[in-house]
Amino acid sequence: MNTNDPIDPIDRLKDAINSHDPRQVADCFTTTYRSETPHRPQDGFTGNDRVLMNWTAIFGRLPDIRAEVLRRATGGDELWSEWEMVGTAPDGTRAVMRGPVIMTTRDGRIDWTRFYLSPVAGNADR
């Protein structure tokens, strides 16, 4: 991470998600962004255009989603963060996702992630 970045990339992403603006979320990522999902390798992708498409769909299903960063750490060039996202599903049930995200940045934007966020069984409280 460049220490001259005016806003921490993790905080910038959290604020963008909480804005409910998919373009603001996509702008947190480079155009060559690479997303890896080790538990679901087939879901990996490249490009912030796919981020825009994904977050447009997420906000359509969970219009009140709120993101919170529970923990964070820096290891060399990597930023590690633990996330919780909570929203209301179309059927009125509470949807909760939690898990770590490991990322690197380039020019103040997220360039690569290993994404482990997944649904919480039974939507348990912390």
Q: What is the pLDDT of residue 96?
A: 96
Q: How far is CA 75 from CA 7, 79, 104, in A?
A: 18, 6, 10
Give the chain's domain count.
1
For residue 28, is it within any domain?
yes
Backbone angles phi, psi at 123, to 5 degrees: 50, 45
Q: What is the CATH number of the domain that holds 58?
A: 3.10.450.50
Q: What is the pTM of this model?
A: 0.90
In this predicted structure, the answer to whether residue 21 has a pLDDT above a threshold of 80 is yes
> What is the token pair recorded at 59?
């906000």
Q: What is the pLDDT of residue 79?
A: 96
Q: Checking phi first, is residue 92 left (phi over 0); if not, alpha (psi -120 to 50) or beta?
A: left
For residue 125, is it within any domain?
no
Give the domain range for residue 95.
Answer: 9-120
Closest to 87 measured CA to CA, from 68, 70, 63: 63
Q: What is the pLDDT of residue 76?
A: 83
User: In the structure, what pLDDT confidence band is assigned to residue 105 with cuts at 50, 70 and 90?
Assistant: very high
